[in-house]
Structure formats: structure tokens, C-alpha cells
Chain A
Amino acid sequence: MISTVTTSTVSTVTTAALAGSVALIGILVLLILLVQKELSSAVAGTRYQSLSKALNIGIAPLMIAFVLVVLSRIAEVIR
């Protein structure tokens, strides 16, 4: 019972080309959340402030994923 790593996770990330494209999708979602956060922060009102805070739920882990993607690319270049 592991919902984080399933067979489809394994088969996806072990295919190099596929792994690259799904990483890009992760970064795209991160960008959308960051734009949303910027917009909601600029608008007055408690609901928008609440949205701005809620977006951190997704931004924080996806930012870590982004850093790992960048580091892995750098490692590939160095090799």
C-alpha cells in the first residue's frame, strides 16, 4: 500500500525521455501556482489572502522538486 510510489511511477521515471517531460509539467504547475500567488497577493480581501496562503501547500514541495530537477541537470552536464 504505497500511494507515493506505484508501478506507474516506477515505469514513468525509469524512461528517461518521459521523466524529462513530466518534470517539465511539474515545473509548469509550479509556475501557475506562483502566478496565482502573485495575483492573489496583489488583490485586497481576506479570501484572496487565504488563497495566497493556501497556494504554499503546492508551491513548497514543487519548489523542492524544481531544485532537484535543476541539480540533476547540472550533475548530468558535469559528468
Chain B
Amino acid sequence: MVYTETKLADLAETAQAALPKNETLYHSIQDAIQQSDFAEAHRLLLSLVEAEADNAHNWLLLAWTAPTYSAARRCFERALALEPGHPLALDGLSWSETDWAFRRNGHDPAAEQGAAATIPISGEPPMTMTTPGANLPTLETGLAAEAAPGGQSLPTSDRFVSPALAPQPLALRLRRLGYGAYLVLYLLGIAAAEAVTAWLNPQLGLLMHGGLLVLIFLHASLGALPAGQKFLYTLALAPLIRLMSLSIPLLQFQFTYWYMIIGAPLFLSAVIVLRLTGYKPRQVGLALGNDLPLQTGVAVTGLGLGYMEYLILRPQPLAASLSLADIWLPALILLVFTGFLEEFIFRGLMQRAALVAIPKLGPLYISLLFAVLHIGYRSVTDFVFVFLVGWFFSLVAVRTRSILGVSLAHGLTNITLFLVFPFVTLP
């Protein structure tokens, strides 16, 4: 039996079913495993094990993502102690170091025994397996384990040192640091392009968006690690939104249809991103999710949010009157091409990828980006309002694992903002 990434992903699913808590963490772990980013998966699993130390599945996952054989053995032993006779744990303990290293990387040890001793770990420098401990990031299980070179004893402490914190090659550290810096620069670049478009010179702003789009594609494909690559694919949609909204000749069409004319090609792009990233629809919130009462409640908040934003922006109505005949089509267009589409892009695709690429800062980054794309309204109050609402939507999407509720809320916000409140006399 070869324990490949698929097997690891299956184990992550099993562990997830057993423990509905920490759902976001499980999602991130699954993603990291699917992308062969074992170091990231292991780092996330360490947090999980600290919180849920009595789950054998977590220990098995930790074993298969461990950076060293001795660390893996200690994890297998812990899993076996929790569930005596567990076949996967027994299997793991029966392997030799070479078996473990080859199986972990999806190779057949029988066919490859005696082959090169350098095992490449995806996205990281090669790890030399013939000299255990030398030049390797280590998973230390407390002082007692450190004192036992064979690594055969059970850890006496639950405090672990993550391989992410252990000594790593300088190049890898710089690469990770560089990725975060690039993300900040992209956000600042998009904000600058939006500000230039809104206040200074739309042509220059659009050129900046075009430059950013080209840069993001180059970075994603030629320079990023797998987890970062997916996020950059989704990030490309941000400058593309502005390029599309300004370069399409909208004057030929009624204002009501503008959202559809811009939204339809963007939807095509979003589908291409979905295919490139390999996410399943449910992974980007295209499912009923859980906690339907909460989602219903969130959807209703759209009415209040629409009123609040109306007080900020006071826009002109999109329809001739408040009659059903006049508003049903614009309402449908707003619901689909702003509510659903924008939530699919921001809280679906972008947030999903961000939770893996930048786990702790993902929702914050996406909410900031969402707010930045509203700079065009030229209102600081609206910027802050949209940022807070975006953050609220992010948290709800993570909690419910669906964009249904937030899409309805977003759609209702826009419907009331542009079709209802402009007709209602307000103080």
C-alpha cells in the first residue's frame, strides 16, 4: 500500500468528519497536502494536535507530513497508543526509514530501493535521507525525545517545535518572506491604481492595472510555490475587474445591463481560475454548506446594509420606478452579477486560496482588497463600510463553508441600494 497525497487527503477528510471543530484548519491542511506542501501541512497539523491531542487521525497525518523519519515514528507510536492495533499506525511502524521516505513522496519502495538517496520535497530544497538529522528541519518532541537519538520513545511533552521554526535554508526563508512582501506590494499597487483611476488619470490607472495583471501572471507561473501560485491566480481577477469595467464600451447599452455585460466575461475568468486551481465547487463555497439558519439571517442583513450604504452614497436609481415591472430585471442582474459573482470571486475563490497561502491573514487581506476596489466611489466612509462588511462576509463564509448566505446578502444590499431606497423618502 503506497501512502500518496490522495491517501493523506482521505485521512484529512476522516479526521475532519470526526472533529467538526477547527474546520478552517482542516481545509487548509487538506489544501496543503494536495499541493504537496508538506511543511505547511505539518505546521498546521502541529496547531491542530496541540488543540486535539487525543485524535489518532491527527497523529497519523502528522506522521506522514513529518520532516524526518524519527519524528514520523514518534507520531505513529502516539497514534498507536491512542488507538491500539490501528492498521495504518502499525504499517507505518513496520517501515524502514527508506520505505517511509519513498512512500511519503508517492514512490514505490520496491521498485526504487537503492536509488538516489536524495528525496525532493515539492517546493523545497532536496532533503538528504541517508544521514538522518543532518541538514534537516527537525520535529523535536521535548527534551526527553531529543535525548533519545533513535526517536523510539513516546514524547513526554505536547509542546512541539514546528519545522517551520526549525533551522531552514536561508533561500527558503527568503522565498517565504518574499512572497508575503509581494502580496503587500500587489495590494498597494492595486490601491494605487484605483486611486489614480478615480482621482488623477483613468488611462494611467488602467495601465497600472494592466502592468499588475502581467506581473501577477508571471509571478504565479514562474516564481511562486504551489500554494502561493493558486492565490496569485485568484488575485489576478482584481486588476482584471477594473480593466473590464473600463475598457468595455458600455455607452451603447442601458445602465441596467452594464453589470451583466461586465460580469459575464468576469464569470468566465472565474471559472478558468476554478479549473486552474483544481478546487472542487464545494471548496469555494458553491454548496448549501452548514448552518442554514445563520445563512438566512445573514442574507436578511442585506436589507440593513443596503440602507446604510444608501445613506453613505445616495446613488441614483437604476430603474424608472419602484414597480415590479421596472425592477425585476435589474434586481435579477444585481443579484447574479454583483451578489453571486463578486462573492464567488472574493469569498469563494480568493478567500479559499488565501486561507492556504496566508492562513491567519487571509480574510483580512481579501477584505482589504475588496474595499480597495471600491476606492472608485471616492468616499472614505464607504471604504471603511465595505471593508467591515467584507470582513463580516468572510467570517460567515468560513463559518458556514458556503457563499449562499453572503451572496444573497450582497445581492439584497445592492438591490435595496440602487432600486428601493432611492425611491423611498428619507430624512
Contacts and interface: CB of A to CB of B under 8 A. Distances in A.
A4 B263 contact: yes
A1 B417 CA distance: 9
A42 interface: no
Which size class do B's interface residues fall under? 35 or more
Interface string B359-397: 000000000001001111110000000100100000000
Interface in A36-79: 36, 40, 47-48, 50-51, 53-58, 60-62, 64-65, 68-69, 72, 75
Contact of B265 (A6, A18, A27, A65): A65
Contacts of A61: 240, 244, 265-266, 268-269
Contacts of B206: 22, 25-26
A16 B338 CA distance: 25
Contacts of B298: none
Given A3-B374, A54-B233, A60-B265, A22 B203 contact: yes
Interface string B323-342: 00000000000000110011
Interface string A12-26: 111010110111011
Interface stretch (B29-37, B174-182, B216-224): B216-224
A54 B244 contact: no
B210 interface: yes
A23 B247 contact: yes
Contact of A9 (B236, B245, B265, B414): B245
B185 interface: no
Interface in B203-241: 203, 206-207, 210, 213-214, 217-218, 220-222, 229, 233, 236-237, 240-241
Interface residues of A, number: 46
A55 B264 CA distance: 18
Nearest to A25: B206
A6 B217 contact: no
A44 B245 CA distance: 35
Contacts of B246: 9, 12-13, 22, 25-26
Nearest to B346: A3
B204 to A, nearest CB: 9
A7 B379 CA distance: 10
B250 interface: yes
Contacts of A26: 206, 210, 243-244, 246-248
Interface stretch (B14-22, B58-66, B126-134, B251-259): B251-259
B222 A23 contact: no
A47 B123 CA distance: 13
A51 B218 contact: yes
Contact of B214 (A18, A22, A33): A33
Contacts of B222: 47-48, 51
Given A22-B203, A53-B276, A2 B259 contact: yes
B28 interface: no
30 contacts: A1-B309, A3-B241, A3-B342, A3-B374, A4-B245, A4-B341, A6-B375, A8-B202, A9-B376, A12-B197, A12-B246, A13-B248, A13-B250, A19-B250, A22-B202, A23-B249, A26-B206, A27-B247, A28-B210, A29-B214, A53-B276, A54-B233, A57-B217, A57-B233, A57-B272, A60-B265, A65-B265, A68-B248, A72-B251, A75-B252
